Amino acid sequence: MLKRTRKTLFYSLCAIFVILGIFLITSAQGLIFNWKEIRFVKTGGIYLRYLPSDAQVFINGKRVEQSPGILNRGIFVKNLTPGSYEVLIQGTNYSDWTKDILVESGFVSAKSDVRLWPAEIPTMKFGTTTDAMFVIADRNKMISIENQAVFMGGKKIRGVQLMFSDFDSELIATKERGGTVFLTGARDMGSSINLSELFNSLKSRQLSTLGNVPILAVTAHPWNSDRIIVATERAIYGVDIKKIQIEQFAYGTSSIKFLLKNGSEIIGISEDGDVIGTDVMLKKQFSFKISSSSLNIQNAVLSPSGKEIFIKDDAENLFVYAIENAELLELGGDVVSFAASPDGAKVAWLDKSGNVRAFYIEKDNGDLKLPKGTFTSVNIPKTFIGGGTEIFWAYGISSHIFFKTDGSIFVSEIDPRGNSNTRMLVSDTDSSSVFGGKIHFSKKQNDGTFTVYEIDIR
C-alpha cells in the first residue's frame, strides 16, 4: 500500500472516529443536528400511558413500534426535536384518540391518562320500572318512584318520597305525605322504622326537649351502620337505632337547608350562610358564617377533602369557601351545573354560554403540574352542549368529566391542551344516575315501561 494511500486512510478513520464520537456525545446529551437551522438542538420526548394497552400509537402519521411493558402500560418516545406533534392512538373496536402535543427542548411532555372508549359501549340490563325516575339503592337493587309510591327491588316500601339511601349502612329513608319519615333496610324490606316517632320520643325522654319537630334531612353515620344522622330546622342529631339512644351534635339559630357529610364531619348550612357542624370522631362542635353579606344559597357541596364548601347562590354565581382560611372566592357566573372531582383537587362548572371551566383547589399532581388556584378551560365542542346540561364525575376517574344533555351522556378529558376527545357514551335516555364507576340509565319501551341499563366506565 502506498504511503499516500495509508495516510489518506488514516485521516479518514480519524475523521470517522471524531464524527462518531461527536454523534455519541451529543446523543447522550439529548442533542441532535437540526438541518433546517444548521445547528445542534436539545431534544425532548413524549410519554404516553393509555388503555387499552394493546392500542397502536402513531406520531405525525408514523407508527411507533414500542409497546408498554408488563408493569407499565406507557411508552416513552425520545429524541424528538422541539415542536408540535400530532399523536393518534387507535384500538380495535375503540374510538380514536388524537391530540397535538407540544415538545419542548429538554423536557418530556406526558399524557398518562389516555382512555380509549369502546365504539359500542357494552350495556347490561339492570331492571324494569313503570317510571323513568329511579335511584340505584345498592349494588343489586333499584329504587323507583311509581304512581306516588316507593319501590325497592320491585317491592313497595313505606313512603312516597325518597330522602336518602346508603350502600354501606343499607338503609333507605322515605317520607310520607304528612311528613313522617321511615327507615327501611335494604335486606329486610318487610319492616320499617317510624324514624319521626322514634326520634321525637328519644329527644323528649333522653334530652328533655319537649315537642315534636319535623325531620328535614337524613344521612348515614360516618362509620356506624346502626346509627343515623338527623337534621331538624336548627339542630343535628345522632340516633342509634339499635341501642335506642340519641345525641345532639350541633345547634344553631338559623334554619338548616343543606346537610353535608365528609369523613367524620357533619355540616348543616342555612340559606344565608350560617354553618353549624361537628366532628363525630373528635366530638368537637363548630360554627361559623360563610359571608357577612347575604348569599341566598341555592346549592351547597362539601369537597371530598372536607376543606372547602362550593356554593351556588340565587344569582347563579359559583363560590368556593376555604374553611380553614375563612376565605370566599367567586369562581364564575351564570352557572348551570357544577361538580367537584373525586380526588378533591378541582371543581368544574358549566355556564349558560356552554363554556366548561375548571378551578384547581389543590396543586395538580398529574401531567400538567398546574399550581393551586389555576383556572383552565375544557375544550368541549359547543355542539355537544344542549338544553338542561348537567356535569358530573365518576368515582376514581378525576381525569375525565361526564355530562348529560338532551338524553345523551358524554365524556370529555379535563385537559386544556387542544382536543378534549369528547365521546358520546349513550343516547336517547329518559333519566340516568351514576354510582362509583358505573352509569345507570333508563329507556322507554313500546309497552310504556322503562328498562334500566348499566354501563361500567372503569
Can you read off the three cell numbers belonging to residue 403? Answer: 355530562
pLDDT at 400 over 80: yes
Cα–Cα distance for residue pair 440/452, rounded to 1 Å: 7
pLDDT digits (tens, 9 = 90+) for 283-326: 899 999 997 677 899 999 998 888 899 999 999 999 999 998 89
Cα–Cα distance for residue pair 48/150, rounded to 1 Å: 48
How, if at all, do strands 181-185 and 192-194 pair?
antiparallel
Beta-strand (E) ranges in 105-244?
Answer: 108-115, 124-129, 134-136, 142-146, 149-152, 155-157, 161-166, 171-175, 181-185, 192-194, 217-220, 227-231, 235-240
pLDDT range class, residue 35, cuts 50, 70, 90: very low
**DSSP secondary structure string for all residues of 224-243:** -TTEEEEE-SSEEEEEETTT
pLDDT at 37 over 60: no
pLDDT digits (tens, 9 = 90+) for 161-189: 888 887 666 788 889 988 999 998 766 65
Q: Phi and psi dihedrals of 191, rounded to 5?
A: -130, 145
Can you read off the three cell numbers belonging to residue 147? Answer: 304512581
